[in-house]
Amino acid sequence: MSAHPIEALLRPPVELWSALVAFATAAIAIMAPWALMMPPGIAYAAGGVLGLIGLIRGRQGWRVLRYQRNMRRLPNYRLQSSQIPLSRRQLFLGRGFRWT
């Protein structure tokens, strides 16, 4: 196992599928309780709980989507050797560099 943590938000947003299933099941429970073989009172309660689960999972999936959408690739940054400022007191590293 790696000692470095893997970023959990760089994966597909699979929570959206469970949110969709929860919302669909909640709709079936509320609109057709006989299809799930439940009395209407229990079906309405189950529909409410499933709707809440769908909201929670949808929010989690939206968080993953929002994180991935807001990732940006840094622009290319190139300098010629004549453009690098020289100083005896400071070291110019540019805007960033890749550690290898």
| Mean predicted confidence (pLDDT) in 51-78 | 88
Give the list of residues 6+ apart from residue 51 with CB closer than 8 angstroms, or none: 22, 23, 26
Q: What is the pLDDT of residue 1?
A: 45
Choose between 9 and 43: higher pLDDT: 43
Whole-model pTM above 0.75?
no
Q: What is the pLDDT of residue 54?
A: 98
| Mean predicted confidence (pLDDT) in 28-39 | 96
Residue 4, pLDDT > 60, answer no
Residue 6, pLDDT > 90, answer no
